[in-house]
Amino acid sequence: MLQVCVFLSVSLFSFFAINYVSSETVQGSVLLNSGVFDKIVNKYKAVLIKFDETYPYGDKQDTFKAVVEATLSQPDLLCAEVQVADYGEKENADIADKYGVKKDDFPAYKLFVEGKDEPLTYKGDVKNADDIKKFLIRESGLWLGLPSCLEDFDSLVAEFHKTSDDKKPDLIKRAAELANKYESEKEKKSAEIYMKTMKKLVETPNFVDTEIKRVEKLKAGKVSDNKKEQLNNRLNILTSFQMRMKDEL
């Protein structure tokens, strides 16, 4: 009898411990409910909200953690969770209903952008943190450090899009000088992609959009893991160009 009681005690302790850990807020994000939803969302230029079940866990939650980590240095962007209960008082179900999120959609990402009446829905792979970050960059116009992107070059790209065509060759020369400061092979390869893309844009203004489609098509085919990583890196840099082009529209 004593052994049974000890077993039950340990089991109950483990159950509550697991649920306590699972319900903790992801560091760098906030948990939202009906009482504070609008107050929080209205204070930022962009808010990415993940609608999910209570006590989310597993690969999809790890993806969310990776996205949150990538946004920590961006003060104008907040990541948040709305955990929706389907039992008892069905906490936060009213928020999910308001934005058309159903249980089968979990986890569902909605991006609230300042100045837009309705949130934008992420429709990509919820296990792919890079794709979610690209969605954030494209739709919010805010800078995030995607893998293989170089902040100095991203600043130069922003200047590139504002510069008249006759002055763009001068910026490409500056890009070549900037590339010399990088020592690692990975950074050198990234710098090379930036410079090649700038040169192509001088010749073909819509190069970025068509190149993104081409690279995404290649990525969707049968390629090695190493090649897929290279294509992902290229897409990240192209997305950075696309974001800054959008800023100038």
Domain boundaries, the chain: 15-140, 151-248
pLDDT at 151 over 90: no
> Nearest 5°: CA angle at 74, between 70 and 79?
65
Question: Which H helix or E strand runs over 48?
Answer: strand 46-53
**Which option is the CATH number for 15-140: 3.20.20.450, 3.40.640.10, 3.40.30.10, 3.40.50.1820?**
3.40.30.10
Label residue 25 by pLDDT band (50, 70, 90): confident
What's residue 22's pLDDT?
40
Give Dmax over CA atoms of the chain in angstroms.
87
The architecture CATH gives domain 151-248: Up-down Bundle (1.20)
Average pLDDT over residues 92-109: 96
For the entire predicted model, the pTM comes to 0.66
pLDDT tens track for 38-55: 999 999 999 999 999 999
Distance CA 193, CA 172 (A): 12
